């Protein structure tokens, strides 16, 4: 999956701060790319992190660093946060998005390791392996205390059948377990294909002998497995959590084990980490590892390489592969829509210049071929252009939507096969106070971008350089007077278009000129009879 990273930092000055241990092999691409200075400072105390982040352009973390709003707000140059792993619950995504900071992760590199760890934990739990090992180390030869249960023919309930959940389900089938899973995206067809049963959350937790959770930790999944859920489970159920602490309510789990409902739990992740000295760890039915799901040589190398490459891509101004806070589109779709990115932004910027009144409603229409694709990245670019007039470089494609929402600007997207004779057409429309304006543009084969409509006037203008839009009354001499005045000011006209609603009616002139038109020159133009408005746009 791909999306475009838009902000292009000055690569000569980029600083990449790494605050969790990353595999040495994984760091290699970052070292080789030499796009930036690497500051490798794992385990940085909070106060030092707040200092170090000030000058960083990029931050790379695993799950150890808490990238809180405080950390993000202390950053002065930060443009990208890379998570070497899947879960981004240690990163304040809202704060990053608000500041226009892109967050990328490495979603695939540790799937296998996490799935293998889950199976290892489930097997160890079933056969009391850690407890038996400890007993043996204590000099005991106790074969009665550690009688376990088989996995074969037991039902495994999988909650969250994403990358890891699905791998766990496949492996459990290999153990000849029956698998029942709940995931909001799980269809009957996919379940059938995988040889498992799809159920509701309740059906899964009621049916299972073992339950393993593989959802992200979010508002909706916090304490998903709580006292009420334990109440619905089979007596003697065993619980595995190699996803995120917090999905299971630890106090409720403690009570459920103490009360005999739950026969045991295997935990790799905890509500607060590091997790030491907790009463759960004192229960003989609980086995635990210190967040080791992704801790294999292979996974660490892979996630570090993946996230490092994305950070390098970003620093080189290239599309990133795994954005978390941007809509991501497939490589194929990106190839189709990427050529329109600049056009969409320029249409937005041009439109923003057509009125000084506040922008309230925006509609971006896509006609022709473009209607077949996911065009959300284009809409973000159009919004970026529209907001740039007032927000300058503060707006980028990461925060364009957030900023639009925070200014109560509604943004709609429409698609239609009709493209008014062009192969593709983008039209950006906006309500600005009591005015309504629209600008449309296209890419002409071999000729590049064109603005083809401004309000109701058909034009043919290259969206580049210094543009001048003059609204006037259609009458003889208007064009000549404008030409004369610009000549007096030594402003050379490169191209000129005129359009009118009807003879003698409202008309526009669209000019591209070789130098910037200054406010005093605009003032002089406005003094010409029958010129109502002069707008400049520098693209």
Ligand X SMILES: O=C(O)CC[C@@H](O)C(=O)O
Question: What amino acid positions are annotated as catalytic residues?
Answer: 244, 273, 291
Say whether residue 83 binds ligand NAD (CB under 6 A): no
Neighbours of 365 (CB within 10 A): 21
Neighbours of 184 (CB within 10 A): 9
Tokens of 7: 């902000």
Neighbours of 46 (CB within 10 A): 11
Taking the complex as a whole, the smallest distance from the CB of residue 217 to ligand X amounts, in Å, to 9
Q: Is 121 helix (H, G, I), strand (E, B) or coil?
A: helix
Cα–Cα distance measured from residue 18 to residue 40, given in angstroms and rounded to the nearest whole number: 5
From the list ligand NAD, ligand X, none, partner contacted by residue 193 (C-beta under 5 to 8 A by kind): none
Cα–Cα distance measured from residue 13 to residue 28, given in angstroms and rounded to the nearest whole number: 20
Q: What are phi and psi of 426, to 5 degrees?
A: -115, 125
**Which range touches ligand NAD (CB under 6 A), out of 11-19, 208-216, 390-398, 505-513?**
208-216
The mark string for 119-158 relative to ligand NAD (x by CB under 6 A, - otherwise) is ----------------------------------------
Q: 131 or 221: whose CB is closer to ligand NAD?
A: 221
From the list ligand NAD, ligand X, none, partner contacted by residue 62 (C-beta under 5 to 8 A by kind): ligand X
Q: 90 or 442: whose CB is closer to ligand X?
A: 90
CA angle 475, 506, 503 (to 5 degrees): 55
Query: Contacting ligand NAD (CB under 6 A), which of 163, 438, 466, 500?
Result: 163
**Which range touches ligand NAD (CB under 6 A), out of 121-129, 240-248, 347-355, 414-422?**
240-248
Tell me which residues in 241-280 interact with ligand NAD (CB under 6 A).
242-244, 268-269
Say whether residue 35 binds ligand NAD (CB under 6 A): no
From the list ligand X, ligand NAD, none, partner contacted by residue 480 (C-beta under 5 to 8 A by kind): none
Cα–Cα distance measured from residue 325 to residue 101, given in angstroms and rounded to the nearest whole number: 9
From the list ligand X, ligand NAD, none, partner contacted by residue 321 (C-beta under 5 to 8 A by kind): none
Tell me which residues in 177-196 interact with ligand NAD (CB under 6 A).
182-185
| 424-432 and 286-288 beta bridge pairing | unpaired
Q: 226 or 296: whose CB is closer to ligand X?
A: 296
Q: Is 12 helix (H, G, I), strand (E, B) or coil?
A: helix
Give residue number: closest CB to ligand X.
85
From the list ligand NAD, ligand X, none, partner contacted by residue 161 (C-beta under 5 to 8 A by kind): ligand NAD
Query: Contacting ligand NAD (CB under 6 A), which of 10, 193, 220, 520?
Result: 220
**Which range touches ligand NAD (CB under 6 A), out of 106-114, 394-402, 405-413, 499-507?**
106-114
Give residue number: closest CB to ligand NAD.
162
Residues forming the site for ligand X (CB under 6 A): 62-63, 85-87, 110, 291, 293-295
Taking the complex as a whole, the smallest distance from the CB of residue 62 to ligand X amounts, in Å, to 3
Taking the complex as a whole, the smallest distance from the CB of residue 164 to ligand X amounts, in Å, to 9
Cis peptide before 32 (omega within 30 of 0): no
Q: 331: alpha, beta or left, given left = phi > 0 and alpha = psi -120 to 50?
A: alpha
Taking the complex as a whole, the smallest distance from the CB of residue 60 to ligand NAD amounts, in Å, to 16
Say whether residue 225 binds ligand NAD (CB under 6 A): no
Taking the complex as a whole, the smallest distance from the CB of residue 130 to ligand NAD amounts, in Å, to 17
211 and 262 Cβ atoms separated by less than 8 Å: no
Taking the complex as a whole, the smallest distance from the CB of residue 98 to ligand X amounts, in Å, to 23
Q: How many chain residues touch ligand NAD (CB under 6 A)?
A: 33
Cα–Cα distance measured from residue 147 to residue 129, given in angstroms and rounded to the nearest whole number: 10
| DSSP string across 39-59 | EE-TT--HHHHHHHGGG-SEE
| DSSP string across 428-453 | EEEEETTEEEEEEEEEETTTEEEEEE
From the list ligand NAD, ligand X, none, partner contacted by residue 182 (C-beta under 5 to 8 A by kind): ligand NAD
Taking the complex as a whole, the smallest distance from the CB of residue 294 to ligand X amounts, in Å, to 4
Q: Is the dihedral of CA 379, 382, 386, 390 positive or negative?
A: positive
Neighbours of 427 (CB within 10 A): 23
From the list ligand X, ligand NAD, none, partner contacted by residue 509 (C-beta under 5 to 8 A by kind): none
76 and 30 Cβ atoms separated by less than 8 Å: no
Q: 90 or 124: whose CB is closer to ligand X?
A: 90
The 8-class DSSP code of residue 319 comes to: P
Of the candidates 339, 319, 310, 313, the residue with the CA atom closest to the CA atom of residue 5: 319
Taking the complex as a whole, the smallest distance from the CB of residue 328 to ligand X amounts, in Å, to 18
Taking the complex as a whole, the smallest distance from the CB of residue 86 to ligand X amounts, in Å, to 4
The mark string for 416-455 relative to ligand NAD (x by CB under 6 A, - otherwise) is ----------------------------------------
79 and 102 Cβ atoms separated by less than 8 Å: yes
Neighbours of 429 (CB within 10 A): 18
Residues sharing a CB contact under 8 Å with residue 140, sequence separation 6 or more, in sequence order: none
Beta strands in 330-456 (DSSP E): 359-368, 410-416, 424-432, 435-444, 448-454
Q: 63 or 197: whose CB is closer to ligand X?
A: 63
Neighbours of 460 (CB within 10 A): 14
Binding footprint of ligand NAD on the chain (CB under 6 A): 85-87, 107, 110-111, 114, 159-165, 182-185, 214-217, 220-221, 224, 242-244, 268-269, 291, 293-294
């Amino acid at each position: 999956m791909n999306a475009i990273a838009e902000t292009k930092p000055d690569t000569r000055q980029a600083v990449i701060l790494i605050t969790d241990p990353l595999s040495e092999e994984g760091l290699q691409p970052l070292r080789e790319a030499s796009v930036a200075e690497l500051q490798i400072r794992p385990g940085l105390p909070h106060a030092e992190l707040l200092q170090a982040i000030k000058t960083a352009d990029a931050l790379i973390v695993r799950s150890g660093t808490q990238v809180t709003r405080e950390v993000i707000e202390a950053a002065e140059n930060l443009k990208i946060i890379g998570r070497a792993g899947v879960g981004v619950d240690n990163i304040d995504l809202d704060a990053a998005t608000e500041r226009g900071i892109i967050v990328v992760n490495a979603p695939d590199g540790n799937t296998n390791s996490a799935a293998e760890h889950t199976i290892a934990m489930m097997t160890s739990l079933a056969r009391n392996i850690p407890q038996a090992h400890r007993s043996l180390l204590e000099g005991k030869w106790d074969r009665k205390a550690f009688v376990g249960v088989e996995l074969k023919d037991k039902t495994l309930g999988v909650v969250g059948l994403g990358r890891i959940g699905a791998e766990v389900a496949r492996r459990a089938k290999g153990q000849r377990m029956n698998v029942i899973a709940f995931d909001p995206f799980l269809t009957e067809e996919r379940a059938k294909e995988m040889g498992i049963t799809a159920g509701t959350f309740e059906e899964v937790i009621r049916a299972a002998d073992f339950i393993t959770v593989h959802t992200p930790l979010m508002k909706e999944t916090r304490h998903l497995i709580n006292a009420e859920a334990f109440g619905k489970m089979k007596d003697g159920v065993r619980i595995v959590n190699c996803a995120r602490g917090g999905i299971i309510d630890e106090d409720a789990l403690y009570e459920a084990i103490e009360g005999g409902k739950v026969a045991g739990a295997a935990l790799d992740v905890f509500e607060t980490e590091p997790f030491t000295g907790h009463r759960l760890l004192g229960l003989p039915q609980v086995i635990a590892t210190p967040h080791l799901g992704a801790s294999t040589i292979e996974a660490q190398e892979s996630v570090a390489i993946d996230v490092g490459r994305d950070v390098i891509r970003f620093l080189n101004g290239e599309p990133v592969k795994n954005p978390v806070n941007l809509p991501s589109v497939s490589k194929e779709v990106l190839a189709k829509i990427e050529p329109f990115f600049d056009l969409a932004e320029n249409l937005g910027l041009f439109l923003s210049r057509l009125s000084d009144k506040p922008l309230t409603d925006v509609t971006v229409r896509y006609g022709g071929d473009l209607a077949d694709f996911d065009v959300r990245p284009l809409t973000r670019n159009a919004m970026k252009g529209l907001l740039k007039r007032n927000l300058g470089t503060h707006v980028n494609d990461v925060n364009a939507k957030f900023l639009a929402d925070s200014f109560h600007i509604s943004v709609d997207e429409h698609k239609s096969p009709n493209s008014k004779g062009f192969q593709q057409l983008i039209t950006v429309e906006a309500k600005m106070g009591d005015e309504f304006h629209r600008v449309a543009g296209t890419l002409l084969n071999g000729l590049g971008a064109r603005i083809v409509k401004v309000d109701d006037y058909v034009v043919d203008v290259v969206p580049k350089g210094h543009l001048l839009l003059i609204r006037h009354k259609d009458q003889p001499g208007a064009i000549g007077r404008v030409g004369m005045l610009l000549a007096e000011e030594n402003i050379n006209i490169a191209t000129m278009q005129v359009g009118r609603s009807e003879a003698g009616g409202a008309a526009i002139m669209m000019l591209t000129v070789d130098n910037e038109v200054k406010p005093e020159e605009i003032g002089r133009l406005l003094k010409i009879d029958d010129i109502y408005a002069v707008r400049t746009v520098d693209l």
